[in-house]
Amino acid sequence: MASAKLKYLSLGILVFQTTSLVLTMRYSRTLQGDGPRYLASSAVVVAEFLKILTCVGLVFKDHSYSGRALSSILRQEILHKPIETLKLAIPSGIYTLQNNLLYVALSNLDAATYQVTYQLKILTTALFSVSMLGRRLGVYQWLSLLILMAGVALIQWPADSPSDPQKEQLTPGSQFVGLVAVLVACCSSGFAGVYFEKILKETKQSVWIRNIQLGMFGLVFGIFGMLAYDGDRVQEHGMFQGYNTLTWIVVALQALGGLVVAAVIKYADNILKGFATSLSIILSTFISYFWLEDFEPTSVFFLGTVMVIMATFLYGYESKPAPNPSRA
């Protein structure tokens, strides 16, 4: 009974985190305010720092709130195993790139289109799983990938709509930039996710320790990226320029995202995770239309969305093996 409650609690939190992150990030990147807008590169750095603090707190809790045990485990697993720690540099750098790309995508795409298109990460993850882990996909999974690609293609299908001055902020050029950002983020998400899974399966380290290692490299890469692309603006207005309550909410939701997914993987299964993803897509579409008012749904978009949701469920479906007649 307790495990069932944890299962649905983790899924509820995943729906809330996924939907609210997309919508608040989109709103924060399009909100017109006084002064400079917050830097996406700065938000990525702060999110990595919060993730490290959260994971350290979870390790601290797992070791009965003992400071000595925490210090010992961090030295033993991180400082005394430099090769194992360095393995996380590759996925960490890719995750840092991905997090920056998501800000670019949501600055140029409406929340609904982004949310559905980003499900292409299922395709990239599956392909990298086959090539890197030697995993075999069943008929239902290959079929779901074909349906997924067709659904996303329909969602990106150009629609003729009456011109509206309030909706001309998204030019074809900016939409193309947003689409490219999402596609690159899908590829980076698939590769980094499978690479991280391979490392987890090869070692017995805690997932929280691994996330601390990821966060350490992510923090370094994020700071270098921030100074390289926004160094002048940081010197002029500071790292926390444009920060407000909404910005801190976005940063906190992004920091907790990976930890929520880890909890879902621990307590739930792929089908329920697919249900949570589908519900998040529906909520994002409705809120993007009624609240943000930056999205005009079409019949083609709805058809594509239904196909993506169906593909998400189908990919997590596991057919029962047929009974063996010889054992009857």
Looking up tokens 């509206």, which residue turns up? 164
Instruction: Phi first, then psi: give them for residue 273, nearest 5 degrees.
Output: -65, -40
**Token digits of residue 119:** 């499900």
| Beta carbons within 8 Å of 301's beta carbon, 6+ residues apart | 112, 113, 154, 155, 159
- Residues 100, 228: Cα–Cα separation, whole Å: 13
Asked if 195 and 133 touch (Cβ cutoff 8 Å), the reply is no
- Residues 99, 97: Cα–Cα separation, whole Å: 6
- Residues 185, 103: Cα–Cα separation, whole Å: 11
Poorest-pLDDT segment among 6-15, 161-170, 201-210, 220-229? 161-170
Position 100, amino acid: N
Question: How big is the chain, counted in residues?
Answer: 328
- Residues 294, 299: Cα–Cα separation, whole Å: 17
Residues 181-209 have a mean pLDDT of 85
pTM for the model: 0.80
Residue 301: its pLDDT value, please?
83
Asked if 186 and 149 touch (Cβ cutoff 8 Å), the reply is no
Q: Which helix (H) or strand (E) covers residue 79, if one does?
A: none
* DSSP string for residues in 268-317: S-HHHHHHHHHHHHHHHHHHIIIII------HHHHHHHHHHHHHHHHHH-
Poorest-pLDDT segment among 33-47, 68-82, 278-292? 278-292
Asked if 87 and 276 touch (Cβ cutoff 8 Å), the reply is no
- Residues 110, 112: Cα–Cα separation, whole Å: 6
Task: Tell me how crowded residue 131 is: count the other CB atoms within 10 A of its CB.
Answer: 11
**SS3 of 162, please?**
coil
pLDDT digits (tens, 9 = 90+) for 267-324: 665 556 666 777 787 888 888 777 777 677 788 888 888 888 888 778 776 544 444 4
Say yes or no to pLDDT of 44 above 80: yes
Q: How many CA atoms lie within 13 A of 153 on its CB side?
A: 6
Q: Confidence class of residue 234 from pLDDT cuts 50, 70 and 90?
A: very high
Residue 129: its pLDDT value, please?
86
- Residues 245, 7: Cα–Cα separation, whole Å: 30
- Residues 30, 11: Cα–Cα separation, whole Å: 29
Q: How many angstroms from the chain centroid is the CA of residue 82?
A: 27
- Residues 11, 268: Cα–Cα separation, whole Å: 8
